[in-house]
Chain A
Amino acid sequence: MHKAQDYYPDCPEAFLVSLARTGDRKAFAELVRRRQSPIRNLMRRCCNDYTLADDLTQQVFLKVWLGIRKLRKASAFSGWLKRVAVSVWLQHIRKKDALGDAGEMTGNELPQHDTTGMVLDLDRALVKLPNTVRLCVVLSYHEGMSHREIAKLIQMPLGTVKTHIRNGAQQLQQLLSAYGNPSEVESP
């Protein structure tokens, strides 16, 4: 006999969110399974340290589990999850600042596995950007968010966000110029 939980992989997300809000751990596990990949990708772009990215992703989902009962609309889950992820990242940066370890990442935290040369190059280039600039660029290019959405999310003036994205993109273009010209790209 099938249990209700056996059907969770086929359930719509809003339904799973509603179940998770009532404390259904199996439904929440299914949500984590579905949403972990985008959050881990976001964290990887932000910190260039895959172990740290996974730790931060776990923190994100733990916060989501603790706060999901307060989520009013199940349909708002996606945006809320992104907000939690960004706030966890910002907290991490602030903690590093407080510890006097605010210096930009060195690039030593290199990805260990499952990476193509292009991903490595992108992450190395991103590491060279200041934290806030990197976050703005990642939210714009990786998450596809508008400048206004980013400004609202990270509580920064719209003009500053635009400047960060413009400057960050220019730096990335220089660092990744090989990818703009296919003849210069190294074959794998």
Chain B
Amino acid sequence: MIIENQDQMLQSVFAEARQDLDGEAITARVMAKTRRQLYLLAAGVLSLVAALLAGTWLVFGLPLLEFAVLISQFLTMTLVDLGEGWLALVFMPVNNIASLFIVTAKAIHMGWKKIIGVSFTA
């Protein structure tokens, strides 16, 4: 290899100084460091996920819970006041806003299917 005006003596000294060094020990040390790096990365990612989850719960957890309670209170409101006797107990599963929604949705679904069916037969 001829590089710009290099001194021959220095070239040969540098060439002779180049040693073929055994690499097992240093390879093991490098790989141990890369493994440690991997563990650190995994620990960092886990910590970040945990922090994000905790933060999300702190910000949105309580409002969501309150909202769910409000919805469930609204859906279980009775449609007709039947007092507190056995009749109220019998009709309790259907005597609320939730069941009204379900019945309405079912009726719309059936009506829609009927309309579609009619259009096909026509």
Contacts and interface: CB of A to CB of B under 8 A. Distances in A.
Interface of A: 25, 28-29, 32-34, 36-38, 40-41, 45, 54, 57-58, 61-62, 65-66, 114, 116, 118-119, 122-123, 140-142, 144-147, 169, 172-173, 176, 179-180
A146 B2 CA distance: 9
9 contacts: A29-B30, A32-B23, A37-B21, A54-B26, A119-B19, A141-B10, A147-B4, A173-B9, A179-B12
What is the predominant secondary structure among interface residues of chain B facing chain A? helix
Given A62-B33, A146-B3, A147-B4, A33 B27 contact: yes
A33 B24 contact: yes
B71 interface: no
Given A32-B26, A142-B18, A169 B37 contact: no
Contacts of A34: 23
Nearest to A144: B1
A140 B3 contact: yes
Contacts of A66: 37
Contacts of A123: 17
B19 A37 contact: yes
Given A37-B23, A176-B10, A58 B30 contact: yes
B9 A179 contact: yes
Given A45-B17, A66-B37, A179-B13, A32 B27 contact: yes
Query: Looking at chain B, what size class is its interface with the partner chain?
Result: 20 to 34
B57 to A, nearest CB: 33
Contact of A33 (B1, B12, B14, B23): B23
B21 A36 contact: yes
Contact of A40 (B1, B16, B24, B26): B26
Please name the 6 residue pairs, one residue from A and one from B, whose CB atoms are nearest each other, closest first.
A36-B23, A141-B14, A180-B9, A37-B21, A61-B30, A32-B27
A147 B5 CA distance: 10
A188 to B, nearest CB: 12
Interface in B72-102: none
B56 interface: no
B31 to A, nearest CB: 5
Contact of A29 (B4, B16, B18, B31): B31
B34 interface: yes
A36 B26 contact: yes
Contacts of B34: 25, 28, 62, 65
B13 to A, nearest CB: 5
Contacts of B66: none
A118 B30 contact: no
A176 B7 CA distance: 12
B9 A57 contact: no
Contacts of A142: 14, 17-18
A100 B10 CA distance: 32
Interface string B20-57: 11011011011101110100000000000000000000
